[in-house]
Amino acid sequence: MSLETSVHRRSLPLEYPFTIARGTVTETDVVTVHVEDGEGRIGIGAASPASHYGETAATVEAVLPDLLSIVEDVDDPSQHARIERRMRETLRENPAARAAVSIALYDLEAKRLEVPLYRYWGLDPAESLETSYTIGIDDLETVREKTETALDRGHGTLKVKLGTGRDDEIVRTIRSVAPDARLFVDANEAWSPREAVSTIERLAEYDLALVEQPVPARNLEGLKFVSDRSPVPIAADESCVTLADIPQIADRCDIANLKLMKCGGLREAWRMIHAARAHDLDVMCGCMTESNASIAAACHLAPALDYADLDGSLLLSDDPYDGVPIVDGRIDLEALERPGSGAAPT
């Protein structure tokens, strides 16, 4: 078959500076992988690494030659298990780099079969979901402006980043602009368990749909403390990185939030979905600030999820890739007219 691979790195500016409890970013570094077969089809994947998980664009670029040499040696994009095993034998960490390769291979294989990924997995596109749209931490006037912009673009589910001394004001401001929106809040580990309980009890009057990662990732007993007392469903994000974490969080929260950039690829994502179901957890798929080169593949998981937070490309000022159509906030898999993930250069 003679697969050929290539790597491309670029920095993509965000529409707004994006602030969470850990800091602010104004652009995202994306490392894109292309895997081309001998008939001109190209599988597209990408890494949007997070320093919080020990990766940067530089580390991704450094390890991708080793990972892609495995792809070229196996020379068959359908051999996901063999390639994944060999990548893990080569690198135990570097999940975003492995995810980029995984996404590109699934994209290529589905293109070779001339089907979209959701059909490759046997999913019903009519069971897709609405993605949330994230409002980062900011001054109240900018929060108001961002909320109005999101509503103007048709988004009915909003996620607000918290973890400040102004959390109540931020949520109150969003609710004043978007009284009917479905609302997620995300503290990104910012609260102590007791602080989380008291804050959630206050904010519950604003009709929250869920609260994401209220306490530090390693404080699983604190997570349980909050979940046992919260009137709102609790989602684990930073506490839920790979398959091995699912049994650890199973009786300590309500929702497992997986991300391709955390777990290392689509096969691991599917394992996490099945394990979460077995442990009676709801399932959410989130993202980093990412291009459609990676977000598009995650969108095809939507029919298998309970919640989708796949707005990473929507937060960019310009994305060099198209992806799955998102119409009024809904991931519209039925409108996709391309095979594979749907990622394509603009």
Question: Residue 302: pLDDT above 80?
Answer: yes
Q: What are the structure tokens assigned to 254, written together? A: 């309500």
* 209-223: pLDDT as tens digits: 999 999 999 999 999
User: In this predicted model, what pLDDT tens digit does every residue of 273-282 receive, in sequence order?
Assistant: 999 999 999 9
The answer to whether 206 and 234 are in contact (CB under 8 A) is no
User: What pLDDT is stored for residue 21 in this prediction?
Assistant: 87
pLDDT value at position 1? 72
Q: What is the phi/psi pair of residue 275, to 5°?
A: -65, -40
3-state helix, strand, coil in the chain (%, to 5): 45, 25, 35
Tell me what the pLDDT averaged over the chain comes to.
97
Supply φ then ψ for residue 35, to 5 degrees: -125, 115
| Each residue's pLDDT tens digit, 55-94 | 999 999 999 999 999 999 999 999 999 999 999 999 989 9
Of 19-28, 190-199, 271-280, give the lowest mean pLDDT range: 19-28
pLDDT at residue 244, as a whole number:
98
Q: What is the distance between the alpha carbons of residues 296 and 302, in angstroms, rounded to a whole number?
A: 11
Q: Which CATH architecture has domain 4-114?
A: 2-Layer Sandwich (3.30)
Which CATH entry fits the domain spanning 119-345: 2.60.120.260, 3.20.20.120, 3.40.50.1860, 3.30.930.10?
3.20.20.120
Query: How far apart are alpha carbons 144 and 154 in whole angstroms?
Result: 16
pLDDT of residue 92: 85
Tell me the whole-structure pTM to 2 decimals: 0.96
Q: What percentage of the chain has pLDDT greater than the value 90? A: 98
Give the pLDDT confidence score for residue 263 in this predicted structure. 97
pLDDT at 287 over 90: yes
How far is Cα 263 from Cα 240, in angstroms, rounded to an integer?
9
Radius of gyration of the chain (CA): 19
Q: Give mean pLDDT, residues 108-133.
A: 98
d(CA 173, CA 293): 34
Alpha helices in the chain (DSSP H): 57-74, 80-90, 95-113, 117-120, 140-152, 167-177, 193-203, 220-229, 246-249, 260-263, 266-278, 292-299
According to the model, what pLDDT value does residue 248 have? 98
* List of residues 6+ apart from 148 with CB closer than 8 A: 177
Q: How does pLDDT run across 32-47, given as a tens digit for each residue?
A: 999 999 899 999 999 9
Confidence of residue 22 (pLDDT cuts 50, 70, 90): confident
pLDDT digits (tens, 9 = 90+) for 227-244: 999 999 999 999 999 999
Domain spans in the chain, listed from the N-terminal domain onward: 4-114, 119-345
